[in-house]
């Protein structure tokens, strides 16, 4: 009886271990398009009475490794157990004023993951280098 119970417990543990490894490894990493959609949703804005129109341009994007969310990720609001992909993104946000266009180029580290509703989400992290702000003429 003890032999069967021991075999059953080891088999159950092995299946649970295999399933958790499969579940962590099976989470797909975001594509460049997924990351672009999240960023455009955050930065692209129509003009309002108090804010100018802003448009995002992604200059370059590097997708890094995917790991399970750690304690710091959880503190930062990323769901526990989420697959978190590191990205390095170089992007420019142009703000369109009546007489000029202000372009701010930034390079940031970020974490991309699926939120509690299954949608891609991004937490911006550390800056890489200095932001560069330039003024451009208004194109007509």
DSSP 28: P
| Residues 6 or more apart whose Cβ sits within 8 Å of residue 81 | 68, 69
Q: What is the mean pLDDT of residues 26-33?
A: 85
Q: How confident is the model at residue 28 (pLDDT cuts 50, 70, 90)?
A: confident
Identify the band that residue 59 occupies on the pLDDT scale cut at 50, 70 and 90: very high
Confidence band, pLDDT 50/70/90 cuts, at residue 66: very high
Best CA proximity match to 113, nearest among 87, 82, 88? 82
- List the one residue out of 73, 107, 72, 81 whose CA is nearest residue 20: 81
What DSSP assignment string belongs to 37-70?
HHHHHHH-B---SSS-EEEEEEEEEEEEEEEE--
The model's confidence at residue 56, banded by pLDDT at 50, 70 and 90, is very high
Residues 6 or more apart whose CB falls under 8 angstroms from that of 113 comprise 69, 73, 78, 79, 82, 83, 84, 85, 120, 121, 122, 123
Q: What is the mean pLDDT of the chain?
A: 86
Give me the residue spans of the domains in the chain: 29-136
Residue 138 has pLDDT above 80, yes or no: yes
Q: What percent of the chain lies above the pLDDT cut of 70? A: 80
The pTM of the full predicted model, rounded to 2 decimals, is 0.77
DSSP 8-class letter at 138: P
Q: From CA 85, how far away is CA 28, in angstroms rounded?
A: 9
| pLDDT above 90 coverage of the chain, percent | 74
């Amino acid at each position: 009886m003890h032999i069967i119970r021991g075999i059953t417990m080891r088999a159950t543990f092995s299946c649970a271990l295999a399933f958790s490894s499969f579940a962590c490894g099976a989470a797909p990493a975001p594509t460049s398009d997924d990351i672009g959609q999240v960023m455009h949703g955050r930065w692209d804005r129509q003009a309002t009475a108090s804010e100018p129109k802003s448009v995002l341009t992604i200059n370059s994007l590097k997708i890094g490794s995917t790991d399970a969310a750690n304690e710091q990720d959880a503190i930062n609001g990323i769901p526990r157990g989420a697959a978190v992909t590191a990205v390095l993104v170089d992007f420019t946000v142009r703000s369109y004023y009546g007489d000029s266009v202000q372009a701010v180029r930034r390079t940031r580290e970020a974490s991309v993951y699926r939120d509690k509703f299954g949608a891609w989400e991004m937490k911006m992290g550390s800056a890489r280098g200095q932001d560069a702000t330039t003024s451009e003429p208004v194109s007509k």
